[in-house]
Amino acid sequence: MNQTMLRVHGLHKSFGGVTAVRDVSFEALLGQVVAIIGPNGAGKTTLFNMISGVFPPDDGEIWLNGRRLDGLPPHKVARLGVARTFQNVQLFGNMTVLENVKMGRYRHERTNLIAAALGATHREEERTYRAAMQRLKRVGLADKADLLAPNLPLGEQRLLELARALAAEPRLLLLDEPTAGLNAVETIRLAATISRIRANNVTVLLVEHYMNLVMSVADRVVVLNYGEKLAEGRPEEVQNDPRVIEAYLGQENGHGNANRNRR
């Protein structure tokens, strides 16, 4: 459990002269949940985009289980074991719930998508179906498998996106504000799902404004402010850090005010 799965060192990214991320470094161990928190505009999603290959960093290094990621395109990063969800849900709108999850699974099959669609690989298609249904059961959407994805409420669309990411069997899972649009029951279900993911030795990076979730599932918390790392430590350490309270959690106290910052 002390194996380093992700190592981020000295990441820097600017857009048109505006620095979004400046000299950010941290590590995440195998099976660890690391939360990335900070005010809106702190650089959290930019950090995710660099790790997943959407943006190349201007400087710095990203290592996944000893393999260097920075500079690789997103599809190569994904093949090395990185999956993610997005702040704004991104699903295949013309596909069913089940088909969306199967798309996450196909990168693990030996044959290509066209061959599978033509029915040339019945055995692999059956394996893909079983794996996809297992992920849908994990997030509580198995009974919605045949619905078109856009017909789900927003909260269930987020859970579907998580199921699709899990279908890729990632080593590193990036969750970008996963509770946005979820009701209380769905949020509880999400927390339990994250705990099960961690128990399967998947490393999770979590960007989230809802501090109750962060404090209940995170092993460590990294705080960003204006693109720089302000603090890092165990949840209770960060929650009581005066710099974090002033910059993000609220000056009155570091426990209840964080919920007001949720987008």
For 19-30, write each residue's pLDDT tens digit.
999 999 999 999
39, burial (CB in 10 Å: exposed 0-12, middle 13-18, buried 19+): middle
Q: pLDDT value at position 121? A: 65
168-188 residue pLDDT tens: 999 999 999 999 888 898 899
| Token reading at 93 | 């709108």
| CA torsion angle 225 229 233 236 (round to 10) | -10
- The CATH number for 76's domain is 3.40.50.300
Q: Cβ(59)–Cβ(11) under 8 Å?
A: yes
Domain identity same for 75 and 190:
yes
Query: DSSP label at 219?
Result: S
Q: Are residues 198 and 150 in the same domain?
A: no
Residues 77 and 175 occupy one common structural domain: yes
> Looking at the structure, do residues 95 and 193 belong to the same domain, yes or no?
no
User: Is there a single domain that holds both residue 150 and residue 188?
Assistant: no
Q: What is the pLDDT of residues 189-220, one digit of tens each?
A: 899 999 999 999 999 999 998 889 999 999 99
- pLDDT attached to residue 146: 95
Q: Do residues 161 and 184 both lie within one domain?
A: no
Tracing tokens 């090395």 back to the chain, one arrives at 80
pTM for the whole structure: 0.85
| pLDDT 10s digits, 139-172 | 889 999 999 999 999 889 999 999 999 999 999 9
Do 76 and 175 sit in the same domain of this protein?
yes
Whether 185 and 154 map to the same domain: the answer is: no
Which of 227, 218, 217, 219 is closest to 247 using CA atoms?
227
What are the pLDDT digits (tens) for 1-20? Answer: 589 999 999 999 999 889 99
**pLDDT tier for residue 39 given thresholds of 50, 70 and 90:** confident
Per-residue model confidence (pLDDT) at position 53: 95
pLDDT at 263 over 90: no
Q: Please, which pLDDT band fits residue 128 given cuts at 50, 70 and 90?
A: confident
Are residues 222 and 165 part of one domain? Answer: no
Domain-ending residue, one of 146, 169, 192: 169
What is the C-alpha to C-alpha distance for residues 9 and 60, in angstroms, rounded to an integer? 6
221 plus 197 within the same structural domain: yes
Half-sphere exposure in the Cβ direction for 91 (13 Å, CA): 28
Please choose, from the candidates 31, 13, 10, the residue with its C-alpha nearest in 3D space to the C-alpha of residue 21: 13
Domain boundary among 169, 190, 212: 169
Mean pLDDT score of the chain: 87
| Pair of tokens at residue 257 | 């005010």
User: Checking DSSP bridges between strand 203-207 and strand 172-176, what pairing results, if any?
Assistant: parallel
Can you tell me the distance from the alpha carbon of 51 to that of 33, in angstroms, rounded to the nearest whole number?
A: 16
The predicted-structure confidence for 46-105, as pLDDT tens digits, reads as follows 999 999 999 999 999 999 999 999 989 999 999 999 999 988 888 888 899 999 999 887
State which of 127, 154, 169 marks the end of a domain.
Answer: 169
Mean pLDDT on 126-132 = 88
> Is residue 248 a contact partner of residue 223, using CB atoms and an 8 Å limit?
yes
- What pLDDT, on a 0 to 100 scale, did the predictor assign at position 7? 97
Tokens of 94: 């013309």
User: Do 200 and 226 lie in a common domain?
Assistant: yes
Domain housing 158: 90-169
Number of compact structural domains in the chain: 2
Per-residue tokens: 92: 């295949």
* pLDDT of 252 strictly over 70: no
The residues, any chain, with a CB within 8 Å of residue 248's CB and separated by 6 or more, are 37, 38, 39, 223, 225, 258, 261
Residues 186 and 72 in one domain: yes
